[in-house]
Amino acid sequence: MAFDFENANEAQRSAISTTDGPLLIIAGPGTGKTYTLVKRIVYLITEKDVLPEEIMIATFTEKAAKELITRITNELYAIGVSVNLNEMYIGTFHSICLRILKDHLEYTRIKKNYRMLDNFDQQYMVFQKINRFRNLPYFDVIFDKKQGAWRQAGEIVKYVNNLAEELVDIDEMQGDADEHIVAVANIMKQYNILMEDENLIDFSSIQTEAYKLLIEEPSILEEIQQKIKYVMVDEYQDTNYIQELLVFLIAGKNKNICVVGDDDQGLYRFRGATIRNILEFPGHFAEGECKQVKLVTNYRSERQIIDFYNKWMSTTDGRAYDFMWKNFRFEKKIVPPEGKKAAKVGVIKCSGKDLLDDWYEQVYSFITQLKSSGVLTDYNQIAVLCKSVKGDKIIGMVEYLEEHGIKVYSPRSEMFFERKEIKQVIGCMILCFPEYVRKLQQRDFSYDFENLYKYYDTQCIAAARELILQYRDTLGKWIAEKMHKHANLKKDNADYAFTGLLYQLLQFEPFSTYLGIDMKSGVIDERPARNLSILSSILGKYEYLHRIDVFTENNIIESVERFFNMYFRFLFDGGITEYEDDSEYAPSGCVSFMTIHQSKGMEFPIVIVDSLNGTPRSSGNHLLEEIENKYFHRKVFETREDIKFFDFWRLYYTAFSRAQNLLVLSCCEKKGHGATPSKYFEECYEKLPAYEDVNLSEIKLEKVKPVNIKDTYSFTSHIALYENCALQYKFFKELGFTQVRVGATLFGTLVHETIEDIHRAAMRHEEQTIVPETIREWFDTNYMTLSKSEHSYLGQPQIEAAYKQVLRYVERNQSDWSRIQDAEVEVSLVKPDYILLGKVDLIRGEGDTVEIVDFKSEKKPDVLIETAEMNRYRRQLEVYAHLIEEKTGKKVSKMHLYYTGEDNGVPTVTFNKSTEMIDKTIKEFDAVVEKIQSKDFSGRAKDKNLCANCDMRHYCRRKGDC
């Protein structure tokens, strides 16, 4: 049967069917790039007989990866092709590199149980160790002594992140005659030492560690090169130096590399991305060897919009400015589909004069006229795009629209601390600590952070006092009890810290109402519950970083002051992003406000572009530029004096091209100094008709397209959790509340990881190393990294009991290592509406028949009594067995639960595989997932023990749900 190209145009067909050799796809906005990529992957699998695991697909965002996975699996499912997603290398560069590192961790400086740092963690780690940096030679040469430790930590992180992925030679830099460069080199070296000592990894080092692994371990590189036959990279214009190295390193001699992107939408120079990667890609091959395909037919935008942004890119001179693109972009002209009728209205302006309130009124009037005329059927058809959504001007517009009844979705406006629920909960928590309240009122602190103290006093505590008056007999009484308890901890420690205190507080109104929200009600109504969840994560992380398990007489004053005066201040000053849902980028009933960078890859029926006062600005750091000139492996590409123009034009081109039916340029017009619009927009802006001068009723708007992303679920983390208690699922999975860390899992993880080390040695044919001395080394290393990661410890009797379980397992199986075929095997079940993920601890057997084993670090239960538990495990193993058979083509004869805690009896419980039962189990899973996806969280726990150990037990007891 011939391949179904569906409605692909000629250029798309060429891109889909060109599979061998290097291919560069220049894909303009709205030209069906994702469609083409998906079809190309399906073509490779179905027409070229390429195995899914032989394809690597690198995307720019996790969301893009999820969308690709969804569309690929849907296409393949429709034609009956089964695929194990875990075999495919598909995701961001960072997730692919992390997978490579996890698979070969023993060859890297990273040990098991490493901790991944986000941007805040990274800066906070440096802040905590700031004296290690301040004592370095020449530190004062590049840092102002008056700078606080937090600001210095931020600068250090910027240097590290900017240089790490350029693979600069730190030793060589340390020998430079310039003290400034030596200072930066010293900082980087100290930072790397800290990361290794603490077993940490950050965003920028993921790729450098993976690259180092592949370079230093040729056998691993060869294994990956033999496996991956086709490499595809999306958004190639936003890749950096090390990512280009990784692409060509993994591809090796195989030249089946396809890169896709649009040089006109390169926005991420500030993250180290360089447009040169896509522009110079053909130059890596012999002349004429790299085929180039241009996708220029735009299926998104009206003709006037296309003409507008085409002209924007070609107009490079005006009043007092002039630059040339030269060879720094691919020449292209975006066109609408042949025969598409042009709309009467495509690009307009909506402006105020001089006063912001006038501008807000004009935007509001424009929106309400569209709504009242019936043209606008849902506010989510409008997106307002800006360079930043944090400024007073934009926040003012958000507040104006909300005050006038138009809901706004703007999670990156960093209004977290302005939300009512956050002020209320912070105020209530502060009042629980009488000594802190006394010091706050008297400003009896070492540092003067008046803005923060004023926020606590006049907004948070004031909000809490209002609640106490309203709920005197419940919330008020509880706060009084906590005040008394915290002032008298000499008698008895508390059995909670900050997170536990929050979970107790949530049982009371109005917080219990926030939590009781129907999850079908929409993102704005859910926002209070989701913000409380974010707060739980903040509290949990603080407790983890400062090793606070419970409040005691010795720690309560210091830990409370440090939290509210220091940790919270950093978050307060830096801002916190609110919840974003990848599966719904434009929530129904809301106008979206987002940054231009955030909008990349999206489309909206109406796009209002703000920030027309913008001007091209140089954003370089002189010292970093000097290091680039001396130590980067590639010389500067674009001319420095033109970079600001290139980036400015690309930014607004991206903004303009998000519009489907109507593009609106909007600003508060101003003459003279700081003129708005700036001279760079004069020509295109002045010619536009004002919205009052066009017939808005003639505009036809598309509906916002639903995001097509399949959710992924695992048996233990999702299916079993939901079946045990749907409400617990709502809190900890759907809303994402942080669970208070429990050390009970440390024992089991320690046993499991050491057994995994044994299996890996056996698979490397190193059975001679599986002896007590080596096993003890593995065990002790695992305990060291686990205890450091978990900030939790076992007593010596528990440590020896765990070690005894491992030795007992070895004694029982030491003559059987050759039967091990694989371990820690990830499997996936692709369904039309979801993907089920799982991991098989061990596959063993001979020939074409295997058995699967799942380990439990406990005594074997009485199978006649624990029937429900056994049935749950059996269902899980049956599905895993089914997936292993599909993955390997081998028959699974038996399924075992192996209890390492069993002393003398048979340590296994064995099940026979039944095809009929597998089908029944999968249908049961389908039913559970359907309930989860329909937001049905009405089920309650039937096991009292589950309630007793749940962080939300206080909430449930007061509600009568426990």
pLDDT tens figures, 159-207: 999 999 999 999 999 999 999 999 999 999 999 999 999 999 999 999 9
Angle at the Cα of 418 from the Cα atoms of 413 and 421, rounded to 5 degrees: 120
Same domain, 773 and 866: yes
Mean pLDDT of 237-262: 96
Candidates 273, 232, 244; CA nearest to 33 is 232
Which of 177, 198, 219 finishes a domain?
198
Residue 742, pLDDT > 60, answer no
pLDDT per residue over 430-482, tens digit each? 999 999 999 999 988 877 788 999 999 999 999 999 999 999 999 999 999 99
In a domain? residue 606: yes
Pairing assessment for the beta strands 317-318 and 891-899 based on DSSP bridges: unpaired
Does residue 783 share a domain with residue 794? yes
Please check whether residue 258 is in contact with residue 40, taking contact to mean a CB–CB distance below 8 angstroms: yes
Distances (CA, A) of 105 to 98, 99, 127, 210: 10, 10, 28, 10
Strand-pair category, 834-846 with 820-830: antiparallel
Show the beta-strand stretches assigned E in 451-570.
none
* Full-model pTM: 0.92
Q: Taking CA 694 as the corner, what is the angle to CA 692 and CA 695, rounded to the nearest 5 degrees? A: 110
The mean per-residue pLDDT over the stretch 906-915 comes to 89
Q: How far apart are CA 699 and CA 620, in angstroms?
A: 43
Q: Give domain status of residue 806, yes or no.
A: yes
Residues contributing to the annotated binding site: 27-34
Both 449 and 587 in one domain: the answer is no
> What is the helix (H) or strand (E) element at residue 351, kind and residue range?
strand 347-353
In a domain, 311, yes or no: no
Binding site for ATP: what residues are annotated? 27-34
Which structural domain, as residue segments, surrounds residue 121? 115-198
Residues 19, 37 within the same domain: yes
Q: What does the pLDDT average to over 780-808?
A: 91
Closest to 682 (Cα-Cα) out of 692, 669, 698: 669
The 10 Å CB-count burial string (b at 16+, else e) for 193-220 is ebbeeebbbbbbbbbbbbbbbbeeeeeb
Question: Is residue 957 in some structural domain?
Answer: no
- 393-414 pLDDT tens trace: 999 999 999 999 999 999 999 8
* Residue 67 and residue 169 share a domain: no
The pLDDT tens digits for 507-516 are 999 999 999 9
Same domain, 373 and 270: no
Q: At what angle do helices 149-164 and 179-197 cross, to 10 degrees?
A: 90
Token look-up 């619009």 returns 677
For residue 780, what pLDDT is reported?
A: 94
Report angle CA 163, 387, 148 to the nearest 5 degrees.
50
Structural domain ending residue among the three candidates 255, 278, 295: 295
* pLDDT surpasses 60 at 743: no
**What does the pLDDT look like over 336-351, one tens digit per residue?**
999 888 888 999 999 9
CA 519 remoteness from chain centre: 22
pLDDT of residue 741: 58
Strands 659-669 and 604-609: parallel
- Do residue 409 and residue 420 come from a single domain? no
Residue 896: CATH number of its domain:
3.90.320.10
Mean pLDDT of 868-882: 89
Quick check: 759 and 734 in contact, CB under 8 A? no
pLDDT band for position 848 (50/70/90)?
A: confident
pLDDT, mean of residues 257-261: 98
pLDDT digits (tens, 9 = 90+) for 569-604: 999 999 899 998 887 889 999 999 999 999 999 999
Cα distance between residue 787 and residue 809, in whole Å: 23
* Both tokens assigned to 20: 């061998």
Tokens encoding 491: 């008698």
369 and 276 in a common domain: no
The pLDDT confidence band at residue 333, using thresholds 50, 70 and 90, is: very high
How far apart are alpha carbons 528 and 420 in whole angstroms? Answer: 8
Mean of the pLDDT values across residues 611-617? 93
What's the confidence (pLDDT) of residue 364?
98
Q: What percent of the chain has pLDDT over 90?
A: 79
Average pLDDT of span 94-121: 94
Domain end position, chosen among 267, 295, 323? 295
Alpha carbon distance 38, 879 (integer Å)? 28
pLDDT at 816: 85
Cα(624)–Cα(480) distance, integer angstroms: 55
Q: Which of the four pLDDT bands, split at 50, 70 and 90, describes residue 543?
A: very high
pLDDT of residue 585: 86
Q: Largest alpha-carbon pair distance within the chain?
A: 89
Q: Kindly report, residue by residue over 625-670, the tens digit of the pLDDT.
A: 999 999 999 988 988 889 999 999 999 999 999 999 999 999 999 9
Asked if 407 and 427 sit in the same domain, the reply is: no
| Sign of torsion over alpha carbons 672, 675, 676, 678 | positive
* Eight-class DSSP state of 34: H
| 322 in a structural domain | no
Q: Is residue 647 part of a domain?
A: no
pLDDT band (50, 70, 90) for residue 888: confident
Q: One-letter amino acid identity for 642?
A: D
Does residue 831 sit in helix, strand or coil? Answer: coil
For the chain, counts of helices (H) and of strands (E): 40, 22
On whether the CB atoms of residues 646 and 324 are closer than 8 A, the answer is no
Give backbone dihedrals phi and psi of 946, rounded to 5 degrees, phi first. Answer: -65, -40
Q: Is 335 part of a structural domain of the chain? A: no
566 and 663 in a common domain: no
Q: Is residue 639 part of a domain?
A: no
Q: Please state, rounded to an integer, the average pLDDT across all residues of the chain.
A: 93
Q: Number of folded domains in the chain?
A: 5
Residues 758 and 826 in one domain: yes
CATH number for the domain including 286? 3.40.50.300
**Residue 733 sits in the same domain as residue 848:** yes
pLDDT value of position 223: 95
| pLDDT tens digits for range 16-75 | 999 999 999 999 999 999 999 999 999 999 999 999 899 999 999 999 999 999 999 999
pLDDT tens digits, 548-558: 999 999 999 99
pLDDT band at 744, cuts 50/70/90? low
